[in-house]
Amino acid sequence: MKTNAFLFLTLLVLMANSCNNQRPSKTDEGWIALFNGKDLNDWKIKITGHPLGENYKNTFRVEDGILKVSYAEYDTFRGEFGHIFYKTPFSHYKLRVEYRFTGEQVPGGPSWGLRNSGAMLHSQSPESMLLDQDFPVSIECQLLGGLGAGPRPTANVCTPGTNIVINNQLITQHCTESSSKTFDGDQWVTVEVVVLGDSILHHIVNGDTVLTYSKPQIGGDLPEGFPLPEGTPLKEGYISLQAESHPCEFRKVELLNLEPEK
């Protein structure tokens, strides 16, 4: 009887460990690693002009434990803007990414795409994007690298198909700059975004809060047939990372769930 009981307990432990291995890894502080450092199994890829799930020219890849935006297989860029979406939508959370830019922009990339990427927040689902849609309706934490020619802050906010509020004023311009410093070269930068549903968002760079805004909502130029009317509050959505013609690397993509208890 004691032997059978021991075997039964052992089986329970093995089953529990097996279940845990199927979930995103979680730290003692509660952070979840959205990118596991091994593969892209928890992510969905959508590239302009290509169907959902087609990783055109291996744009998104994992090498040496790093999620890379790569143009090694491109001869020229023809508007293949890419986004890689985490599989689960979120509402209240803190997102943390560590990123850097490397190498040269692919020939044919737009001038504004130089050392330019982003983390899209409260995004529409990848399944709902049109075949030739460049960017998902979302709030973008814009990730920039310095050009060695003066100030170029990172963690700005851009608003494809959306609007925001700053100091009680509705902001309809596409991008608003943060107060961050400029990061030249290939150095790693840590950006965090606190997202509290449709109330308030904070952008944080290397520990410093550089931008705060509120009331994210639908507005501006929308894809044909988009179902939500202007002014609809954005309470939740998907998280995606961009490919905009310059090689970029992400060595951490982590999330701390701040969803209030119900």
Residue 16 within a domain: no
The first and second tokens of residue 74, run together, are 């491109």
pLDDT band at 107 (very low <50, low <70, confident <90, very high): very high
Would residue 155 be called left, alpha or beta, if left means φ above 0 and alpha means ψ between -120 and 50 degrees?
left
Share of the chain above pLDDT 90, in %: 87
CA–CA separation, 204 vs 212, rounded Å? Answer: 9
Residue 101 within a domain: yes
Residue 11 within a domain: no
Residue 13 within a domain: no
pLDDT for the residue numbered 111? 97
- Kindly tell me the sign of the dihedral angle through the C-alpha atoms of 35, 36, 37, 42: negative
pLDDT for the residue numbered 19? 37
The first and second tokens of residue 237, run together, are 């959505």
The pLDDT of 105-116, averaged and rounded, is 98
pLDDT for the residue numbered 3? 36
Q: 3-40 pLDDT, tens per residue?
A: 343 333 333 333 333 334 444 555 557 999 999 999 99
Residue 10 within a domain: no
Domain, as residue range, for 122: 31-257
Number of domains in the chain: 1
Would residue 113 be called left, alpha or beta, if left means φ above 0 and alpha means ψ between -120 and 50 degrees?
alpha
| DSSP for 186-223, written as a single string | T--EEEEEEEETTTEEEEEETTEEEEEEEEEEE-SS--
CA–CA separation, 187 vs 227, rounded Å? Answer: 41
Residue 140 within a domain: yes
CA–CA separation, 57 vs 60, rounded Å? Answer: 9
This prediction has a pTM of: 0.88
Q: Read off the CATH number of the domain in which 117 is found.
A: 2.60.120.560
What is the three-class DSSP state of 152? coil
Residue 223 within a domain: yes
The first and second tokens of residue 174, run together, are 């596409």
Residue 199 within a domain: yes
